Structure 1
Amino acid sequence: MNIHQLQLGVLLASLFLGRCALAQTQQEWMDCLAGDLRNPDVPIAGCSAVINTGEGILRRLANAYNNRGVARRLKANYAQAIDDFNEAIRLEPNYANAFNNRGVAYRNIGDLDHALSDYDRAILIKPDYFAAFYNRGLALTDRQEYAKAVSDFKVVLAADPRNPLVLYRLGAALVKAGDGDAGNADLAEAKAIKPNIEEEIREGRP
């Protein structure tokens, strides 16, 4: 974290942490900047507290940008949503959820290359991020890379074997990949669990 981020954290502490916490942070900031180096523990403690406060506020800001991005995406304001996810990722470079959400926005506008890149990054950061596997499977299906899509849907299904949405998507991908028997079996199982699953997918409700 650079000095500008630390200063931002101290400034925003007054808004998020209240007057008492701000006073404490101001003292810790002074200990950090002007602490007596004959007693190094004082500036170390002061600077550590300021850094921790700033990092906590940056995480909250990243969450706010991410959540606003999701809301904007739901309103089909995809460019603004992507801008928000960009900012969330700038603040928190390993924010897997923001990468996944940005990938969804990119897929919504048909930019499958960027979508797949974001899903890859989300999964790299969080290898058990099943939503990113599912979303990557959808994007791979859009690209007609059915074998890869099947692989991703199977990862999700292993964690949630009775999920009708995943079963349906897997079955559809298997059929398109040329494995009609297995695909139709999964489609039938999905419909047995949730008879209107096909209608919901067609209407974009899941």
Structure 2
Amino acid sequence: MKKLLFIFVIAIFVVACKDDGSKVYFDAGIKKMYESTDSAQRIANYKNAFADFNKAIEINPNYVDAYMNRANIKNELGDYQGFLQDCKKASEIEPENTNVYIYLARIKKTRGDINGALAVLQKAISIDAKLSKAFSDRAEIKSGQKKYKDALADYDKAIKFTSDKELLKYLYSNRGLTHLDLGDKNSACEDFHNAKDLRNPNAQGEIDSFCK
């Protein structure tokens, strides 16, 4: 029984200051979008933020971050086709922007489009062959498919290519669980101890469960 610990984080795209006026609307949209309120008010905030992102795009039709945050709102409000259209537009403007593909793949995965998510992750990897986030996301999918050897290979690459300790502590834990699935307890425990050294809050429980 595997519990993957990878943290799903919706990317918030940040841009340099623009002097065409679009950033004023973009910043207003971001503020409204992430205000902490009850669920009913949150929907109203999303709709107000949506209007701000529309204005930012009207001023600057190449504003990728506005497209991506508007896509996020469309997804939250149930407009999946609109979400896909905004992601497509963002990728057309900045075809080398791997953040767009990572975000798109994660949403596809949450909606059960596993093959679609894998295809998008492969696109990201074709742009950046050392993109740790893409390998870690693909490893999680492969593990869920019980393709443990493939998952292990991707976790190896994700760990090799990242210097982000916050990500690394979960990658070690996930790779340890994958080693267990493949019957390699020693390697699993080594990974759990590495995760503990990086202050993964779940690592001690994994050590207690599997390494005694």
In structure 2, the residue matched to 1:160 is: 163
Gaps of 5+ in 2: 1-18, 24-59, 205-212
TM-score normalised over the length of structure 2: 0.58
1:95-133 residue CA offsets vs partner (Å, 9 max, x unmatched):
321111110001111211111110110111122221111
In structure 1, the residue matched to 2:99 is: 97
Work out which of the two has the higher radius of gyration on C-alpha atoms and give 1 or 2.
1
| Structure 2 CA distance for partners of 1:96 and 1:58, relative to 1, 3 Å | farther
Verify the 8 A CA contact 2:125 2:134 in the aligned structure 1: yes
2:146 counterpart letter in structure 1: Q
2:135 counterpart letter in structure 1: F
Instruction: Say whether 1:113 aligns with 2:115.
Output: yes
TM-score normalised over the length of structure 1: 0.59
In structure 2, the residue matched to 1:184 is: 189
Verify the 8 A CA contact 1:167 1:189 in the aligned structure 2: yes
| Structure 2 CA distance for partners of 1:84 and 1:170, relative to 1, 3 Å | same
Q: Name the Cα RMSD after superposition.
A: 3.1
Gaps of 5+ in 1: 1-12, 18-56, 200-206
Instruction: Give the number of the structure with larger relative contact order, counting CA–CA contacts within 8 Å between residues 6 or more apart.
Output: 2
1:167 counterpart letter in structure 2: Y
| Matches of 1:171 and 1:104, distance apart in 2 | 22
Of stretches 175-184 and 64-73 in structure 1, the one that deviates more from structure 2 is 64-73
| Matches of 2:98 and 2:109, distance apart in 1 | 17
How many residues end up aligned between the 2 structures?
Answer: 146
Q: Percent identity?
A: 19
In structure 2, the residue matched to 1:85 is: 87
Q: Greater share of helix residues, 1 or 2?
A: 1
